[in-house]
Structure 1
Amino acid sequence: MPTRISELSSYQHIAVTGGLGFVGRHLVRTLAALGNRVSIVDAAAPDDTTLPCPIRTVDLRDARQTLRALSDVDLVFHLAGNASGTTSVDRPRFDFESNAVTTFNVAEALLNTKARLVYLSTAMVYGEPQTVPVREDHQLSPFLPYGASKLAGEAAVRAFVRTHGLSAVIARAFTIYGPGENPHRAGGEVSQYLRWHLNALPIRVVGDLDHKTRDFVHVADLVRGLIVAADRSEAGRVVNIGSGREFSLRRLIDAIGEATGRRPEIEVVASISDDSYRMVADTAELRALGYQPQVELVDGIRALAAELGPDPVLPTVDTIFRPEQRSRQEEEVAC
């Protein structure tokens, strides 16, 4: 049964921070198609004149700019921030300011307006899962600066819920994929693997092919989950957004072969295995509110391959857990 998506008609003006990003563009278009009044709040200069709403260029690290930008809205989807674990290792201060500081500023700004907040966090706050599937009450032990900065944002939101009555929901996304990802920023396996494969290059696998598993959630399903969370979740709740299905890297590669009709070549980087663990969402909390993912992995990959074409831009994001790994990877490439 398809997910019923509310038009969020009780809200007069919705803001999407990071609305020019990968997830943001999908969310903005969906909200606008439902008839909502939407504004994009983003630090980047607009490069897409087809987006159906006004854009406010704002540095959310600045509290005053944030307050002004959100003064006339009654619902905020806070998506802005750094989404790259590798960037967080290379530039940890930038990562913290982009994620933790901006989230604090957004939450603080909404104390004056009584607007509702949906904060897009990440499954990386869990660290290495001790139980699978991962429930929202799992221990929180991030091992990358990225996970730590997103968790700091969660802590700020929770504190404002408790002390000031902020109406906020925290959504933890699992491994997102879909059309519109920037290959120079996206580090997710689906986009990277498919781009290498379509260019007739070996798929570069970091981690254990069979032991490393992920919950791959299509961006359209993520948007459905965010809207359901905004519409139906109680203040202070945390919800996982994933497919609820577990795929090993080997099964992902098999799905790419099935979607493209061509057997992929594989190149395993055995020297890096920091994230070779199982990571799949328990989505019972959100499903109880009516969320139902609709995009099967093979179908999502097939549609993405058709959009990318036979020779898409190659990914440029390395998987780095410690700075010294970068030099080792460069040495491997040189050899």
Structure 2
Amino acid sequence: MRILVTGGAGFIGGHLAEQFVRDGHDVVVLDTLEPFYEVGIKERNVEIARSAASDGDGVYEFVEGSITDSDLVRELVSNTEYVYHQAAQAGVRASVENPDKTTRFNVEGTFTLLEAARESGVKRFVNASSSSVYGKPEYLPYDEEHPTRPVSPYGASKVAAEHYARVYNEVYGLPTVSLRYFTVYGPRMRPNMAFTNFVSRCLHGESPVIFGDGNQTRDFTYVDDIVDANRRLLETDAADGEVLNVGSTGRITIDRLARVIRDEIDPSIEIVYDEAREGDAEHTHSDVSKANELLGYEPSISIEDGAKRFVEWYRENEDWYDPLVRRS
């Protein structure tokens, strides 16, 4: 199969591109390599996927460019069967500071891709969405019928992209699916997240910093489970026009997460607290029964097991990945 992965030099997109070429597919990655975080991490994602292609039957091509470039997008989409749209201006706090940029990439960029996909008649358009669409919970766990009242421009942009994908399915017959990811973590993740900050500080003997009282809860999902859900969409025609939660079904307080990571590295380190950050959701918790019914999706990695795996990977890759090491 021929697959276009937008944002394929990023965290989730990089893992998808790597897995798809290992599975023997021909993959084109479109990414701007924007320095929202360390570009070297994105370049390593490209090299890992390229190496995976050389080891197997798949073909890998990297194209540096933007999803807002309609001519480039049209050219790439016309030569593909499946579009995995992972590209976005990430970051809740970044969207609060610069909502214009978030809207331009996350809404207008998605529209540009959908138009190209409609013109080319792709077999499936998979849109990466986020649990940020839910906002403040009226009940937990979130199912897909829960009201979407995001508390940040980032969340609002993801709601808009979902609606565009749904409309293109209903009006134009384009096979679309939106996957709502719940706080994804794992190797090569964005380094300015709570998970990575906790690990980095503990490995350097520093206290992990919690913003707020630590009672916020998150449904952390290991990246391998996210990849599994996406792969299943290559194997079935089910779920066209649908929105599906992809999470772990469990949740943990940020305070407990910090302690799990701290205890894995050095139980003697103290935990410190700072003021809460604007735009962060208070709680996330996924109901994945719909994804289970339609795709057979079953998350397999607990937060405790995933944290251990990530700490092990971090230790092995600290020299190029850890921000404190890179600055030294």
Shorter-chain TM-score: which interval?
Answer: 0.7 to 0.9
In the alignment of these two chains, the number of paired residues is: 300
* 2: CA distance, partners of 1:101 / 1:111: 15
Q: Secondary structure at the match of 2:209?
A: strand
Matched, 1:77 2:101: no
* 1: CA distance, partners of 2:79 / 2:30: 12
Q: CA RMSD in A?
A: 2.0
Is contact 1:61-1:98 (8 Å) kept? yes
The TM-score normalised by the length of structure 1 is: 0.84
Deviation at 1:122, TM superposition (A): 0.5
Deviation at 1:229, TM superposition (A): 3.8
Give the corresponding residue for 2:297.
291
Give the corresponding residue for 1:203.
208
Q: Secondary structure at the match of 2:15?
A: helix
Q: How does 1:95-110 map to 2 (within 5 A)?
A: 95-110=102-117
1:158 to 145, 157, 166: 166
132-141 or 264-273, which deviates more: 264-273
Give the corresponding residue for 1:49.
47
Is contact 1:225-1:241 (8 Å) kept? yes
1:148 to 153, 156, 165: 156
Is contact 2:144-2:243 (8 Å) kept? yes
Over 3 Å counting, the alpha-carbon distance change for 1:293 and 1:313 in structure 2 is same
Q: How does 1:252-331 map to 2 (within 5 A)?
A: 252-270=257-275, 272=277, 275=280, 277-288=282-293, 289-309=295-315, 312-314=322-324
Over 3 Å counting, the alpha-carbon distance change for 1:271 and 1:219 in structure 2 is closer
2:70 to 63, 77, 90: 63
* 2: CA distance, partners of 1:258 / 1:290: 34
Q: Secondary structure at the match of 1:303?
A: helix
Task: Name the structure, 1 or 2, with higher relative contact order (CA <8 Å, separation 6+).
Answer: 1
Gaps of 5+ in 2: 35-41, 51-59
Over 3 Å counting, the alpha-carbon distance change for 1:168 and 1:263 in structure 2 is farther
Aligned residue type for 1:301: A
Aligned residue type for 2:300: Q
Matched, 1:16 2:2: no
Over 3 Å counting, the alpha-carbon distance change for 1:145 and 1:230 in structure 2 is farther
Aligned residue type for 1:110: A
Aligned residue type for 2:120: T
- The Cα offsets for residues 74-99 of structure 1, whole Å up to 9 and x where unpaired, read as 10110001111121112111111111
Give the corresponding residue for 2:57.
none
Give the corresponding residue for 1:139.
147
Deviation at 1:274, TM superposition (A): 5.8
Give the corresponding residue for 1:178.
186
* 1: CA distance, partners of 2:117 / 2:313: 38
* 2: CA distance, partners of 1:153 / 1:119: 8
Deviation at 1:273, TM superposition (A): 7.2
**Aligned sequence identity (%):** 29
Structure with greater proportional helix content: 2
Aligned residue type for 1:249: I
Give the corresponding residue for 1:250.
255
13-22 or 60-69, which deviates more: 60-69
1:25 to 14, 29, 39: 14
